[in-house]
Amino acid sequence: MSEHAKRVRFLSGNEACSLGALAAGCRFFGGYPISPSSEIAEFLSGQLPKVGGKFIQMEDEIASIGAILGASLAGAKTMTATSGPGLSLMQENLGFGMMAEIPCVVVDVMRGGPSTGNPTGPSQSDVMALRWGTHGDHPVVVVCPASIKEVYYGTIDCFNYAEMMRTPVILAMDEITAHMREKIEIPAPEELHIEYRRKPTVKPGESYFPYQPAQDLVPVMADYGEGIRYHVTGLNHDKTGFPTGNPEIMEEGNRRLLEKIEHNKEKLLKYEEYKVSDAEVLVVAYGSTARSAKRAVDDARERGVKAGLFRPITLYPIPDKALQAAAAKAKRVIVPEMNLGQYIMIVERVLGHSVKLSGVNLVNGEPIQPSRILSAIMGE
């Protein structure tokens, strides 16, 4: 078998995510079983020790994210994987990771909710929970792949973004993306671009300020045990990392958390534009729903309607300028999603009321069929 042929695999999304994580340098996974994400924990429990990494099954999702944040402070690239109920449990510590600026990757394989909901059915109903789940104003980076190849590269992107931005980053798959299988050619390691957190270069006698923003607003990060002792807290803190009640410093610190994402937004944005240049009807769809949407756009074109698809791969930060450009000629915008209208609120905010906006929504555990989106495009 040729080298090339050896690299061609037929993988599920959960497998591709696991392999992407390993390729990105993930060496610590703490997790708790939950459908439909469990295959990631299963896969990594077998693979991590083979590369000298660590897998630990924690007692719940709260502990899982606590462990990956701790391991990240000790210098590892870390990940956990869960689904809706587990995501709900992780929210407090997710906020801790954002506040204390600790890189890590959280995979959320979306299933139906609320509550136990539909454990093995697809859904996209965490889209707002991913944005606003933890309390307080906080920075959010979410990547939402729609194919197995994109899961693999999207997972690597998540690790890169986490290391670049010093923040937890979320890979949001829906159950279809996680469980379907597609062909993928695994790239050679040297073909990949891998980011690492920037380390401080402190000379003896100099102080290290763990929360002093660099030019790109992201502070450089020392690992525990490297010889630079510092303090990490979830309390509002100053550049030294110690708690502060100073209103000016708190205001500045809280704002910087959001500004660092906004400032570096262009590095984090990925999206696909499909037949948008002359689109009079624009479909905005993400994840597996975008696959149905693409088919619907083609079908509509065959029927003489100038339809196009804008597919955010980065859900947050919002690719607002690209979305506005894609919708430049659109009279109508349709947002199909497997929830009762969540990302449509974002689209509405970005496009304002100059276009007619409507959703195609389904929460019955079935994927949205192209025909339903086509009907919406045709105005039926």
Partner 1 sequence: MAMDYFEYLRKDKMPHIWCPGCGHGTIVKSILRAIDKLQWKKDDVVVVSGIGCSSRTPGYLDFNTLHTTHGRALAFATGIKVANPKLHVVVVAGDGDSMAIGGNHFIHTCRRNLDITLVVYNNNIYGMTGGQASPTTFKGSRGTTAPYGAIEDPFDVCEMAKAAGASFVARALDLDAVAMDRVIVAAMENKGFSVVDAWSQCTTYFGRQNKWGSASDMMDRYKEMTYNVKAADKLAPEQKAGKFPLGVLHQVQRTEWCEQYDKLIESLKARD
Please identify which residue in 114, 225, 352, 379 interacts with partner 1, judged by CB under 8 A.
225
* Type and span of the H or E element at 8: strand 8-12
Based on the shown chain and the rule CB under 8 A, indicate whether residue 353 belongs to the binding site for partner 1.
no
Size of the site for partner 1 (CB under 8 A): 43
Count, residues in the chain:
380
Q: Which DSSP state fits 58?
A: -
Query: Of the two residues 120 and 233, which places its CB atom closer to partner 1 in the complex?
Result: 233
Least distance from C-beta 242 to partner 1, angstroms?
Answer: 6
Binding mask 13-32 for partner 1 (x = CB under 8 A): --------------xx-x--
Based on the shown chain and the rule CB under 8 A, indicate whether residue 194 belongs to the binding site for partner 1.
no
| Rg (the chain; Cα; Å) | 21
CB 108 within 8 A of CB 170: yes
Binding mask 272-301 for partner 1 (x = CB under 8 A): ------------------------------
Based on the shown chain and the rule CB under 8 A, indicate whether residue 79 belongs to the binding site for partner 1.
no
Q: What distance in Å separates the CA atoms of residue 286 and residue 173, rounded to the nearest whole number?
A: 10
- Residue 153 tokens read as 């590269």
Q: What distance in Å separates the CA atoms of residue 5 and residue 219, rounded to the nearest whole number?
A: 43
Query: Of the two residues 73 and 151, which places its CB atom closer to partner 1 in the complex?
Result: 73
């708190």: which residue's tokens? Answer: 250
Please identify which residue in 76, 218, 257, 276 interacts with partner 1, judged by CB under 8 A.
76
Least distance from C-beta 147 to partner 1, angstroms?
Answer: 32
- Strand-pair category, 281-284 with 8-12: unpaired
Q: What distance in Å separates the CA atoms of residue 175 and residue 230, rounded to the nearest whole number?
A: 41
Based on the shown chain and the rule CB under 8 A, indicate whether residue 4 belongs to the binding site for partner 1.
no
Max CA distance (Å), the chain: 72
- Residue 235 tokens read as 């309390």
Based on the shown chain and the rule CB under 8 A, indicate whether residue 78 belongs to the binding site for partner 1.
yes
Binding mask 32-71 for partner 1 (x = CB under 8 A): -----------------xx-x-x-x-xxx-xxxxxxxxxx
Binding mask 88-127 for partner 1 (x = CB under 8 A): ----xx--x-------------------------------
Least distance from C-beta 315 to partner 1, angstroms?
Answer: 26
Q: Which DSSP state fits 126?
A: T
- Residue 232 tokens read as 């990490």
Least distance from C-beta 201 to partner 1, angstroms?
Answer: 17
- Residue 88 tokens read as 């709900």
